[in-house]
């Protein structure tokens, strides 16, 4: 079953079309990352999924329910991390978690969560006195409280140092391993690479590319680079685009295996060494930047 089904979603603020005919599904137990440029419509999409916004058009089902009209019924199954912190400034970390213990129908261990998110030494500090990263970690603790069936995480590691980011990743990996569905946004592409089963890249309100990470990456040309030896003979025929700058060879290709094979056979036949030979798939960052710049240019 799909945990989330979004079809034809459009949302407008005044005359700004923030989300324009967006559709995607997230299977139960899947980690799905929405990526995109600033203002692409990610938070708006999440807020519709969370039931906070009524879309202008389209349908959204979350765990089989309408998140706007059935929010109360969904609450026990869904944890939400908004982009902006919603903590009560006067409450300490420990008080915040024990309040959650009383309010939530899900049970969890404040001590364990504080430990996992490196907040134990800050247990008696008021939320308003925490650092930005500590507040974010406390927000994350509330979102994952009691291992909900579904968590929606908007920029969960924004402003976190690398060690804290690793802790949050470990928490999300652990949730996913026990079957929680995760819908997340992030500006850190390595975060999507580390955690997500599938990604969708949004730009200007639309989903431009979606799929598994390997499908998204293989939709873009791969690259072979090498330094050719002095006086190298004529290059072999390859299907990709060859860029030769002196002895520096770069080939952009949709057929990485075939073109690499052709180059290696050619080098072998002529007894050549290809210094610094490197063959790589496009990175998520390349896909992202290419989409953003192409679409902006076209806009």
* The two structure tokens encoding residue 232: 């190298």
42 touches ligand ATP (CB under 6 A): yes
* Rounded Cα gap, residues 38 and 45, in angstroms: 13
Minimum CB separation of residue 79 from ligand ATP in Å reads: 19
Q: Specify the 3-state DSSP secondary structure of 153.
A: strand
* Contact flag: residue 181 with ligand ATP (CB under 6 A): no
Which residue, 67, 48, 65, is CA-closest to 57?
48
Indicate whether 18 belongs to the interface with ligand ATP (CB under 6 A): yes
Determine the Cα–Cα distance for residues 174 and 157; give it in Å rounded to an integer: 16
Q: Which of 16, 170, 215, 244 binds ligand ATP (CB under 6 A)?
A: 16
Q: Among the candidate windows 40-48, 87-95, 101-109, 261-269, which touches ligand ATP by CB under 6 A? A: 40-48
**CB nearer ligand ATP, residue 3 or residue 40:** 40
Residue number with CB closer to ligand ATP (52 or 100): 52
Strand 78-81 to strand 150-154: parallel, antiparallel, or no bridges (unpaired)?
parallel
CB of 204 to ligand ATP, least distance (A): 8
Among 8, 13, 27, 280, binds ligand ATP (CB under 6 A): 13
**Cα separations in angstroms, 133 against 4, 8, 21, 117, 169:** 29, 36, 35, 11, 14
Q: Please check whether residue 200 is in contact with residue 24, taking contact to mean a CB–CB distance below 8 angstroms.
A: yes
39 near ligand ATP (CB under 6 A): yes
Q: Which of 183, 195, 190 is nearest to 154 (CA)?
A: 183
Among positions 40, 140, 226, 287, the unique one binding ligand ATP when judged by CB under 6 A: 40
d(CA 217, CA 134) in angstroms, rounded, equals 34
Report the residue number, 13 or 174, with the smaller CB distance to ligand ATP.
13
Cβ of residue 286: shortest distance to ligand ATP, in angstroms? 19
């Amino acid at each position: 079953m799909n945990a989330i089904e979004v079809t034809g979603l459009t949302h407008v603020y005044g005359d700004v079309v923030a989300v324009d005919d967006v559709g995607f599904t997230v299977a139960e137990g899947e980690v799905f990352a929405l990526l995109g440029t600033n203002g692409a419509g990610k938070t708006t999409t999440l807020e519709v999924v969370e039931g906070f916004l009524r879309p202008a058009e389209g349908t959204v089902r979350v765990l089989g329910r309408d998140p706007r009209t059935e929010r109360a019924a969904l609450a026990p199954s869904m944890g939400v991390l908004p982009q902006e912190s919603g903590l009560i400034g006067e409450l300490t970390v420990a008080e915040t978690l024990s309040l959650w213990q009383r309010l939530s129908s899900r049970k969890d261990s404040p001590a364990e969560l504080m430990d996992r998110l490196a907040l134990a030494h800050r247990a008696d500090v008021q939320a308003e006195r925490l650092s930005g990263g500590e507040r974010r970690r406390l927000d994350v603790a509330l979102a994952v409280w009691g291992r909900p069936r579904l968590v929606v995480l908007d920029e969960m590691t924004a402003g976190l140092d690398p060690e804290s980011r690793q802790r949050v990743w470990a928490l999300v990996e652990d949730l996913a391993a026990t079957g929680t569905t995760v819908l997340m946004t992030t500006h850190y592409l390595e975060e999507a690479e580390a955690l997500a089963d599938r990604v969708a890249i949004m730009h200007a309100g639309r989903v431009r590319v979606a799929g598994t990470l390997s499908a998204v990456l293989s939709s873009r040309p791969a690259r072979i680079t090498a330094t050719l030896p002095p006086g190298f003979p004529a290059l072999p025929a390859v299907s990709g685009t060859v860029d030769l700058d002196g002895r520096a060879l770069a080939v952009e290709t949709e057929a990485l295996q075939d073109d690499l094979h052709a180059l290696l056979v050619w080098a072998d036949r002529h007894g050549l060494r290809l210094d610094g030979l490197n063959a790589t798939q496009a990175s998520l960052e390349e896909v992202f930047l290419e989409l953003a710049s192409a679409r902006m240019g076209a806009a």
